[in-house]
């Protein structure tokens, strides 16, 4: 029996193709309500990043003598999982009951999903040992934000690297004068030189349409620190030793090849959020891109980008203990299985649809059925929309967002409208207090918004 079972509430608005969905947003709220009635025990958590940034988070749990105290650890572990992948950190500071802190330490050293997180956060991203520190007080909060982007002057190149295609655009004073999209399959490639050559080819094609190149900005799925690749699914085909020796500094090589002109590459989710913020002139924007996986980014209420990871593909939004497992981390109920082509592929057999080929081909098949008003295809989009509504409510616990920008290949066509309509319904009927607005870019913004935002990253 799952210790959280008493708090795993069925949603008021049920996803048509997933009756077992148990939203994290409802579970955490039900847990918090019961804790308040029982007499709460405070817990404080801090995540420390490699640059010394420290972010705080507070929650409450049941007294150890309470009948529902068995749910305490599961509640804490799921919150820490979300915090790790949204904010990042190689060191967790824990202030709370000693037995919970000890179990948290054991989780990251003995369980498969915990060891995955510890390895990625410690060795891969921050290049420091990962640890959970139990102490009587948290270190002071130190947050860093960056006024990245919004530089439109001059002749610039913007690029975006996805798992199935890469895009590049030439931009003069904020106006796109050329753009192209090329299909590629980087995940299967083990030679970093292949990646370098393909990226350079796109940049050179864009440069042909500019009188000069003053700056280059790019976005890609993954974690990037000072233009270095720390973790990126695009390079999953590269052996670890080769990744460390040749991929981590790949974009420094690209910068050098362009005579060290101003160059910035960041997570594609952050550029998505920045593009939305620039487009509708609002801040407090959470961007969610549903592509081959889920990408996310955040622009603060002050219009800045944080040092947070925003890798919500690995952040849990479904607390059903039998939720679908992520193929990479092995964890269940995380965003990649709900807001991506992977979700479409997962829901196909449930909807009674047969489709051949890989995930991009399956998505195209569903989109073609949707164009014919196929009810089976509609149910897939309705299900994703319900996921998005409850997922957004959970995201709002961690992000001070007032706007959610929704885009990506999964949202293309009439199905995207259905997704957003259902997400809005969930927030309206279940979480009216949140007052969050959904935005979907128009076709021009989809084609050029990301490129303009990416091109604007580097300051001349």
Q: What local confidence, expressed as pLDDT, does residue 271 receive?
A: 87
Instruction: Please answer whether residues 155 and 213 qualify as being in contact, where contact means their C-beta atoms are separated by less than 8 angstroms.
Output: yes
Tell me the average pLDDT across 64-72. 96
Complete edge-to-edge strand list for the sheet that includes strand 54-61: 54-61, 41-48, 91-95, 131-134
In angstroms, how far is CA 199 from the centroid of its own chain? 23
What whole-number distance in Å separates Cα of residue 13 and Cα of residue 62?
Answer: 29
Which residues are 133's β-sheet partners?
A: 93
Q: What local confidence, expressed as pLDDT, does residue 153 receive?
A: 95
Q: What local confidence, expressed as pLDDT, does residue 443 receive?
A: 66
Q: Say if residue 447's pLDDT is above 80.
A: no
> What fold characterizes domain 270-455?
Nucleotidyltransferase; domain 5 (3.30.420)
Does an H or E element contain 290, and which?
A: strand 285-290
Q: What local confidence, expressed as pLDDT, does residue 221 receive?
A: 80
Q: What local confidence, expressed as pLDDT, does residue 248 receive?
A: 94
Which residues are 407's β-sheet partners?
A: 289
* SS3 per-residue string spanning 16-40: CCCCCCCEHHHHHHHHHHHHHHHCC
Give DSSP secondary structure letters for 89-157: -SEEEEES-HHHHHHHHHHHHHSHHHHHHHHIIIIIII-S--EEEE-SSPPPPB--EE-------SEEE
In angstroms, how far is CA 160 from the centroid of its own chain? 16
Q: If 0-12 CB within 10 Å is exposed, 13-18 middle and 19+ buried, where does residue 129 land? A: exposed
Tell me the average pLDDT across 206-231. 92
Cα atoms in the 13 Å half-sphere on the side-chain side of 136: 0
The answer to whether domain 146-267 has CATH 3.30.70.380 is no
Distances (CA, A) of 272 to 3, 163, 221, 449, 455: 37, 16, 11, 8, 12
Helix axes 341-351, 359-371, angle to 10 degrees: 60
Angle ∠(49,54,55) on CA atoms, nearest 5 = 115
Q: What are phi and psi of 381, to 5 degrees?
A: -70, -40
Give the chain's mean pLDDT.
93
Torsion of CA 41, 100, 337, 49, to 10 degrees: 90
Q: Residues spanned by CATH 3.30.420.40 within the chain?
A: 146-267, 270-455
Q: Which of 122-136, 384-398, 422-436, 440-454 has the lowest mean pLDDT?
A: 440-454
Percentage of the chain lying above the pLDDT 90 cut = 76
Instruction: Please answer whether residues 219 and 183 qualify as being in contact, where contact means their C-beta atoms are separated by less than 8 angstroms.
Output: no
pLDDT tier at 272, thresholds 50, 70, 90: confident
Q: Say if residue 281's pLDDT is above 90.
A: no
Plot region of 316 (φ>0 → left; ψ -120 to 50 → alpha; else → beta): beta
Tell me the average pLDDT across 436-460. 82
Tell me the average pLDDT across 361-365. 95
Paired tokens of 387: 């996921």
Q: Say if residue 446's pLDDT is above 70.
A: no
Which residues are 94's β-sheet partners?
A: 45, 134
Q: Say if residue 444's pLDDT is above 70.
A: no
Tell me the average pLDDT across 168-193. 93
Longest dimension (CA), the chain: 72
Give DSSP secondary structure letters for 56-71: EEEEEE--TTSTTGGG
Beta-carbon count within 10 A of 159 CB: 23
The three-class DSSP label of residue 331 is coil
pLDDT tier at 157, thresholds 50, 70, 90: very high
What whole-number distance in Å separates Cα of residue 360 and Cα of residue 409?
Answer: 9
DSSP 12: S
Paired tokens of 236: 């999953």
pLDDT tier at 79, thresholds 50, 70, 90: very high
Paired tokens of 428: 């309206």
Q: Say if residue 256's pLDDT is above 70.
A: yes
Q: What local confidence, expressed as pLDDT, does residue 201 receive?
A: 97
* Beta pairing class for 54-61 and 263-267: unpaired
Q: Which of 1-15, 23-37, 138-152, 323-337 has the lowest mean pLDDT?
A: 138-152
């Amino acid at each position: 029996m799952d210790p959280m079972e008493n708090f795993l509430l069925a949603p008021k608005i049920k996803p048509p193709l997933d009756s077992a969905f148990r939203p994290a947003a409802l579970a955490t709220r039900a847990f918090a309500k019961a804790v308040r009635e029982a007499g709460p025990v405070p817990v404080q958590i801090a995540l420390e990043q490699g640059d010394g940034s420290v972010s705080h988070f507070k929650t409450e749990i049941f007294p150890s003598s309470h009948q529902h105290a068995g749910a305490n650890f599961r509640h804490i572990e799921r919150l820490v999982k979300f915090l790790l992948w949204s904010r990042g950190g190689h060191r967790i500071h824990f202030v709370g009951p000693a037995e919970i802190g000890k179990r948290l330490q054991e989780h990251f050293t003995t369980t498969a999903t915990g060891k995955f997180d510890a390895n990625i956060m410690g060795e891969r991203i921050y290049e420091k040992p990962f640890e959970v520190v139990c102490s009587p007080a948290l270190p002071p909060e130190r947050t860093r934000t960056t006024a990245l982007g919004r530089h439109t002057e001059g002749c610039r190149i913007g690029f975006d690297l996805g798992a199935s295609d890469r895009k590049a655009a030439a931009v003069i004073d904020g106006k796109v004068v050329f753009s192209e999209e090329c299909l590629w399959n980087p995940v299967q490639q083990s030679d970093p030189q292949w990646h370098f050559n393909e990226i350079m080819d796109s940049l050179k094609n864009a440069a042909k349409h500019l009188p000069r190149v003053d700056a280059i900005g790019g976005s890609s799925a993954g974690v990037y620190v000072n233009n270095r690749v720390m973790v990126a699914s695009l390079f999953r085909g590269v052996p670890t030793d080769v990744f460390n020796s040749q991929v981590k500094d790949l974009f420094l090589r690209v910068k050098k090849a362009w005579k060290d002109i101003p160059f910035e590459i960041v997570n594609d989710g952050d550029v998505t959020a920045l593009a939305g913020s620039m487009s509708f002139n609002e801040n407090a924007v959470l961007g969610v891109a549903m592509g081959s996986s889920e990408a996310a980014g955040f622009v603060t209420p002050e219009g800045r980008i944080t040092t947070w990871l925003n890798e919500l593909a690995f952040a849990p939004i479904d607390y059903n203990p039998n939720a679908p497992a992520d193929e990479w981390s092995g964890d269940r109920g995380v965003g990649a299985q709900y807001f991506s082509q992977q979700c479409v592929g997962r829901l196909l057999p449930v909807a009674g649809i047969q489709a051949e080929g890989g995930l991009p081909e399956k998505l195209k098949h569903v989109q073609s059925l949707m164009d014919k008003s196929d009810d089976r295809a509609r149910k897939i989009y309705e299900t994703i929309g319900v996921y998005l509504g409850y997922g957004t409510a959970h995201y709002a616990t961690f992000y001070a967002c007032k706007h959610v920008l929704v885009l990506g290949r999964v949202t293309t066509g009439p199905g995207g409208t259905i997704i957003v309509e259902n997400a809005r319904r969930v927030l309206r009927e279940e979480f009216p207090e949140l007052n969050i607005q959904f935005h979907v870019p128009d076709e021009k913004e989809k084609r050029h918004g990301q490129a303009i935002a990416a091109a604007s990253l580097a300051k001349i």
